[in-house]
Structure 1
Amino acid sequence: MVAMAELHCHIEGAAAPELVERQARKYGADTSRFIRDGAFVWEDFTTFLAAYDFSADLFRDEEDYALLAEHYLTGLANDGAIYSEFFTSPDHARRAGLSPETYTNALGEGMRRAKQATGIESRMIVTGVRHFGVESVEDAARFAVNCGHPLVTGYGMAGEERFGQHADYARAFDIAREAGLGITVHAGELVGWESVRDALDHIRPSRIGHGVRAIENPELVKRIADEGVVLEVCPVSNIELKVFPDYASHPFPELRGAGCRVTLNADDPPYFHTSLKKEYEVAVEHFGMDAEDLAEVTRTALAAAFVDEETRARLEARLDG
């Protein structure tokens, strides 16, 4: 397996079942509704969110968050990843009873430990939650700009795609862009191609989280390819959430064949019974990709990573070496 790199993962959604069970013992919680035989169980998007929220609630203090980042990144490195970016949420920090600064610093400590142990490089993307409204999303952008943490290098927006219009949130992204942060935004997952078009028109991101519904409009696919926007594609997540019925229907090969810059990512890995390694394996089994193709995907991710050029060169040397 070639060296891997990930651009799209939600850190609260990256907590492995065994780690969640460990946290549940710490806080006296019962996991039987959401974890069975060492795996998360859910039936639809509503129960997925219930499982996610239950597990996320078991991370409450600084050491919990340091452990979360360390555990995820160490496992990723052991699978062969050299780089990871994950989404963080100031809103979640406040709900957990921590300041966004304390939460970010704690995650940063876990990232430091993982790098020291395995050599994996990682960065944080602060995200606003779309369905919390414009003011909340702008607050997240201001936090991203002002927090001063060296590992916060990007800003994005996640949440319910059917809430609001991309134009409503343009100011938040302007705040982040003007401060030099990398820009990504979720679009074109549970909502159709128009979501991707509107993101390009109003947010002007260098990357789009998912973006796969762009396949519904050939002119939009051409625009994505022409503009060099990178798609953070999460194939297993798309199948599990029934965005597409099966891998034969998934547009990853078609988007790649049309010249779009595509990457492979695990989204909320344990909830979809996946990992970054599995996403690469799916690409081989279902999309007919070989080692050279996978290396190209990793190279695309490193080229699009929100890192300084010295770090990028070092990562690219690891891939080529």
Structure 2
Amino acid sequence: MESATVGRDLRLLPKAHLHLHFTGSMRSGTLLELADKYGVRLPEALSGGEPPKLRATDERGWFRFQRLYDTARSCLREPEDIRRLVHEAAEEEVRDGSGWLEIQVDPTSYAPLLGGMLPAMEVILDAVDTASRDTGVGIRVLVAANRMKHPLDARTLARLAVRYADRGVIGFGLSNDERRGLARDFDRAFHIAREGGLIAAPHGGELTGPSSVRDCLDDLHASRIGHGIRAAESPALLRRLAAEGVTCEVCPASNVALGVYEKPEDVPLRALWDAGVPMALSADDPLLFGSRLAAQYELAREHHGFTDEELAELARQSLRASVAPDDVRERLLTGVDAWLAEPAPTG
């Protein structure tokens, strides 16, 4: 009897990680230790050892998700906590085969405990430099504004992001509940960021439908879309994303955990793939959703039948959409080819 061919190890597939939130990258064990250190009482959803049961498709559910996130963030109080978080995130990237990480952060969340906005950015960027040097993973930062705050706050953040463009800030985003705040309200902030040489990567097409993706394209001139998965509901929008080469940072496990789709097989990865929309599979918030980068590729393989050749192309798409230097990108792309050239294991 012949042995059946099984897939290659996806942890060995070189790839880039383009949608990872700062606090959400934390290991659950680290959160428990920091909560104990600072006397923070964690809810059972964060201390029980399993990912919390979430459903954020209504406002009450999103509020609960955000409250859990804020509780976790409250345990990051000193520069050493920031350094630990970034270093451990980089270690997880190494384990999952990622050679390039673009991590997303709103520094206003950490500024009160770190001495202000500028000191907070210095601590974060120093931590990124150290973790990158120690682990070999290229790491850059995307500064994200909050839709729930005033657009003037976003302009302040955009100027801050541009100020640190020579220190590793590469992009500007817009996060939180996309049902709140129109994209066009933040157009001036994104103009400031783009004029400063940063990429525009706002969230859209997660909690709301194709219209939010169109708004990101039309009003914010996005070069990448955070999530973007619900563009699948509009064939015309899929054609536009493919024609313009706009990459969607798709986070399948997150989509299921938040109730955007009921089951992994419901996430319309194939719709985007078949339309030629470039994707960068990403983990979003592993602390809350329970899975990291390689698991997203496993999900595509197990629930959507992606072959190793297709998974390799998804990895290439993540690398092409990154802002990695040419030599880093080419080295990792060569690694993708080498991964695919290896004989598939049998079992």
TM-score of the superposition, structure 2-length normalised? Answer: 0.87
Does 2:35 align with 1:14?
no
In the alignment, what sits opposite 1:3?
14
Deviation for aligned residue 1:97: 4.5
In the alignment, what sits opposite 1:31?
42
1:145-156 correspondence runs (5 A) = 145-156=162-173
Distance in 2, matches of 1:257 and 1:61, equals 46
Question: Aligned match of 1:102 in 119, 123, 127?
Answer: 119
- CA separation of 1:310/1:98 partners in 2, compared to 1, >3 Å: closer, same or farther? farther
Q: Is the 8 A contact 1:196 1:211 kept in 2?
A: yes
In the alignment, what sits opposite 2:7?
none
- SS of the aligned residue for 2:171 comes to strand
Number of residues of Structure 1 aligned to a counterpart in Structure 2: 321
Distance in 1, matches of 2:192 and 2:140, equals 19
Q: Specify every segment of 5 or more residues in structure 2 that has no aligned partner in the other structure, as ranges.
A: 1-9, 55-60, 339-347
Deviation for aligned residue 1:307: 3.1
In the alignment, what sits opposite 2:156?
139
- SS of the aligned residue for 2:200 comes to strand
Letter in 1 for 2:35: A
Q: CA RMSD in A?
A: 1.7
Percent identical residues: 34
Per-residue CA distance 1:141-181 (angstroms, 9 max, x = gap): 01001135521111111122122221111111111111111
Question: Aligned match of 2:315 in 298, 301, 305?
Answer: 298
Q: Is the 8 A contact 1:153 1:307 kept in 2?
A: no
Q: Which moved more, 1:291-300 or 1:145-154?
A: 145-154
Deviation for aligned residue 1:225: 0.8
1:49-88 correspondence runs (5 A) = 49-88=66-105
- SS of the aligned residue for 1:243 comes to coil
In the alignment, what sits opposite 1:231?
248
Question: Aligned match of 1:219 in 231, 236, 239?
Answer: 236
The structure number with the bigger radius of gyration is 2
- SS of the aligned residue for 1:9 comes to strand
Per-residue CA distance 1:209-236 (angstroms, 9 max, x = gap): 0111111111111111111100000001
Distance in 1, matches of 2:181 and 2:72, equals 28
Q: Specify every segment of 5 or more residues in structure 1 that has no aligned partner in the other structure, as ranges.
A: none
Letter in 2 for 1:22: E
Distance in 1, matches of 2:46 and 2:83, equals 23
Q: Is the 8 A contact 2:138 2:324 kept in 1?
A: no
Distance in 1, matches of 2:47 and 2:27, equals 13
In the alignment, what sits opposite 1:168?
185
Per-residue CA distance 1:5-58 (angstroms, 9 max, x = gap): 210010111111101011112212223533344234344433222221111000
In the alignment, what sits opposite 1:251?
268
Distance in 2, matches of 1:320 and 1:175, equals 38
Distance in 1, matches of 2:217 and 2:331, equals 30
Distance in 2, matches of 1:163 and 1:31, equals 28
